[in-house]
Amino acid sequence: MNQSVSPPVAAPARPLGWLFRKPWQITLIICLAVGAGYALSAALSVNMAIVAGLSIFCIGLWATSALPEYWPALVFFLVVSALQLAPAEVTFSGFYASGFWLLFSGVILGAAIRHTGLGSRAGTMLYRMTGRSYAGTLAGITAFGLALAFIMPSSMGRIALLVPLVIVLADSMGYAAGSNGRTGMVAAAAFGTWLPAFTILPSNLPNMMLSGMAESLYGVRLAYWEYLLMHFPVLGAGKAILLVWLIQRLFPDRAPDAVVTGNTTPLSRAEWRLILLTGVCLCLWITDSLHQIAPGWVGLAAALVCLWPYAGLTAKDCIHESVKFAPLIFIAAMIGLGAVISHVGLGAAAVEMLSRYVTFSPDGGFSNLLALTGISTLVAMLTNLPGVPAVMTPLAADMAGMTGLSLGTVLMIQVLAFSNVFLPYQAPPLVAAMQLGKLPLGRISLLCLLLFTVTLLILTPLSLLWWQVIGSI
């Protein structure tokens, strides 16, 4: 007997749905990259124009996830090397950067935490601190990460320490891999220990770059408490609250459905060894300003100890099972892209071009503050967050003369820019956290865009008003 089969009902078409198809996304990004490079070649050098087009190509594909993240990364290495846009030590600087090896060591330490069972114990402790609701968990993780920023200067070190623990905590609370709950918790750990920390002077790289360059170029020493007072109430505490609110809405999930019970058995020898190793790492990360050993090399040494076959801290096949090369290539390309942009002088050229069209008021008014914030923000988007102090600090004295603002105010405006991330490519620590926590690039990019927009429209004006209240401008 013949039976008719009804055809499947097609999903309703979205307006401009073709834009969401990956082949069209790839085509549009390539056209934008080529068009921008060609248009800029009339005003910039050939190398700058090519790097600008290549940046649009890589960042566009990374932001849309239209292709696997390693593919544009390999294109970046090929184009820059073949066209000799920068020396090899600049192009491949990501491979010997501390952040690259900290990502590697973070993966190994996370595997050791899971293998020894120490993660389940740490997860129990974190669970008791964060509460039994999803919102309370996000708030607790963010607060814990922010508190860690006050005692541990390295953002990479904080992320390498905190993200694996939060992953174990998510498992214990019943949030499976790929769930909104796990994604939200890891995002709270990554953003919470890194983004508000721009308001704590020694806790992120751009802060320290600004401090060092201001002293070396102008003899201006940034005081810890004055810096904290200017920035933490709005950009620190305010952004932490905003972060929890946005994550809860972007990644909604139920309350934990599993009661976490701690392991009551005595600590094993492997757990004691890992506790000692982690403690030594933490001490060295906290005191990195004294011994001048980058956090990545401390982490690499710890990873070697974990991989020692007779230490019993990792499985025998850990190096094959836990370490994936695609994320490592991706973060190396991200770091290298920022280095190449800085090498060809694209950020400084953008500032010079903007200064021709931006009219500053000679009385140092509020409009000048907004204009300088906009220029600094654009530099961060064209380069990366550490690129803001690298480009803007040498120009600060000239900007102060043009705007009528004090040199200190012009320097502090940079914080408004490098504490506001547009897309993940601007921040290697965030990229490292995404790889450690397997965060989806597209949704984290959306979180960055929302944070960027709210910060630019609300928190930035509030910060400027706060400066006026406390008499800093």
DSSP string, 190-223: HHHHHSGGGGSGGGSHHHHHHHHHHHHHH-PPPP
- 3-class SS letters over 243-309: HHHHHHHHCCCCCCCCCCCCCCCCCCHHHHHHHHHHHHHHHHHHCHHHHCCCHHHHHHHHHHHHHCC
- Both tokens assigned to 247: 């994550």
Q: Are residues 426 and 322 part of one domain?
A: no
Any idea which of 269-278, 302-311, 376-385 has the lowest mean pLDDT? Answer: 376-385
Angle 325-344/98-116 helices, nearest 10 degrees?
160
Asked if residue 8 belongs to a domain, the reply is no
Contact status, residue 438 vs residue 163, Cβ threshold 8 Å: no
The count of residues in the chain is 473
- Helix, strand and coil content of the chain, in percent to the nearest 5, comes to 75, 0, 25
What sign results for the dihedral spanned by CA atoms 439, 445, 450, 455?
A: positive
Asked if residue 223 belongs to a domain, the reply is yes
What is the reported pLDDT for 12? 43
- Both tokens assigned to 363: 């009385």
Q: Are residues 137 and 118 part of one domain?
A: yes
> How far is it, in rounded angstroms, from Cα 99 to Cα 2?
65
Q: Are residues 237 and 304 part of one domain?
A: yes
Any idea which of 136-145, 399-408, 444-453 has the lowest mean pLDDT? Answer: 399-408
The domain boundary residue, chosen from 326, 351, 378 = 326
pLDDT tens-digit profile of 229-259? 899 999 999 999 999 999 999 999 888 765 5
Assessment of whether the complete model's pTM goes beyond 0.85? no
Contact status, residue 218 vs residue 117, Cβ threshold 8 Å: no
Q: Are residues 270 and 151 part of one domain?
A: yes
What is the reported pLDDT for 98? 67
User: At 223, is the pLDDT very low, low, confident or very high (cuts 50, 70, 90)?
Assistant: confident
Q: Measure CA of the first residue to CA of the last residue in the chain; give whole Å.
A: 86
Q: Are residues 125 and 272 part of one domain?
A: yes
Asked if residue 374 belongs to a domain, the reply is yes
Any idea which of 178-187, 368-377, 451-460 has the lowest mean pLDDT? Answer: 368-377
Any idea which of 1-5, 211-215, 378-382 has the lowest mean pLDDT? Answer: 1-5
Asked if residue 285 belongs to a domain, the reply is yes
Q: Which amino acid is at 164?
A: P
Asked if residue 211 belongs to a domain, the reply is yes
Q: Are residues 235 and 184 part of one domain?
A: yes
pLDDT at 21 over 70: no
Q: Are residues 280 and 193 part of one domain?
A: yes
What sign results for the dihedral spanned by CA atoms 287, 293, 296, 302?
A: negative
- 148 contacts: CB under 8 Å, gap ≥ 6: 158, 161, 162, 193
pLDDT at 190 over 70: yes
Q: Cα angle vertex 373, ends 147, 341, to 5°? A: 85
- Both tokens assigned to 240: 């932490």
Name the H helices within 117-218: 118-130, 134-151, 155-172, 180-194, 205-218
Asked if residue 12 belongs to a domain, the reply is no
The domain boundary residue, chosen from 39, 69, 88 = 88
Q: Are residues 175 and 61 part of one domain?
A: no
What is the reported pLDDT for 360? 73
pLDDT at 406 over 90: no
Contact status, residue 194 vs residue 442, Cβ threshold 8 Å: no
The domain boundary residue, chosen from 301, 326, 351 = 326
User: At 376, is the pLDDT very low, low, confident or very high (cuts 50, 70, 90)?
Assistant: confident
Q: Which domain holds residue 72?
A: 22-88
Number of folded domains that form the chain? 3
Any idea which of 29-33, 117-121, 200-204, 275-279 has the lowest mean pLDDT? Answer: 117-121
The closest of 435, 412, 381, 464 to 198, measured between CA atoms, is 412
User: At 289, is the pLDDT very low, low, confident or very high (cuts 50, 70, 90)?
Assistant: low
Q: Which amino acid is at 230?
A: M
Asked if residue 16 belongs to a domain, the reply is no
What is the reported pLDDT for 451? 93
pLDDT tens-digit profile of 122-169? 666 666 766 678 888 899 899 988 988 887 667 777 887 788 888 888
> 449 or 96: which carries more pLDDT confidence?
449
Q: Are residues 418 and 371 part of one domain?
A: yes
> How far is it, in rounded angstroms, from Cα 353 to Cα 252?
43
pLDDT tens-digit profile of 94-124? 887 766 786 787 778 777 877 887 766 766 6
Strands (E), 302-421: none
> 382 or 309: which carries more pLDDT confidence?
309
Task: Kindly calculate the radius of gyration of the chain based on its CA atoms and give it in whole angstroms.
Answer: 23
Residue 6 DSSP label: P
Residue 301 has a CB neighbour count (10 Å cut-off) of: 17
What is the reported pLDDT for 110? 74
Q: Are residues 235 and 150 part of one domain?
A: yes
> 15 or 405: which carries more pLDDT confidence?
405
Average pLDDT, the chain: 81
What is the reported pLDDT for 56? 85
The closest of 192, 191, 184 to 251, measured between CA atoms, is 184
> 191 or 323: which carries more pLDDT confidence?
191
The closest of 126, 146, 132 to 199, measured between CA atoms, is 146
- Both tokens assigned to 43: 């005003």
> How far is it, in rounded angstroms, from Cα 126 to Cα 119?
10
Buried b (16+ CB within 10 A) or exposed e, 88-113: eebbbbbbebbbbbbbbbbbbbbbbb
The closest of 158, 154, 146, 111 to 320, measured between CA atoms, is 111
Angle 396-403/205-218 helices, nearest 10 degrees?
80
Contact status, residue 141 vs residue 87, Cβ threshold 8 Å: no
User: At 414, is the pLDDT very low, low, confident or very high (cuts 50, 70, 90)?
Assistant: very high
The closest of 308, 310, 234, 254 to 468, measured between CA atoms, is 234
Average pLDDT (345-350) is: 74
> How far from chain centre, in Å, is Cα 166?
17
Contact status, residue 139 vs residue 244, Cβ threshold 8 Å: yes
What is the reported pLDDT for 153? 65
Asked if residue 1 belongs to a domain, the reply is no
Q: Are residues 322 and 178 part of one domain?
A: yes
User: At 342, is the pLDDT very low, low, confident or very high (cuts 50, 70, 90)?
Assistant: confident
Among 289-293, 399-403, 448-452, name the most confident range.
448-452
Q: Are residues 187 and 48 part of one domain?
A: no
Residue 175 DSSP label: -
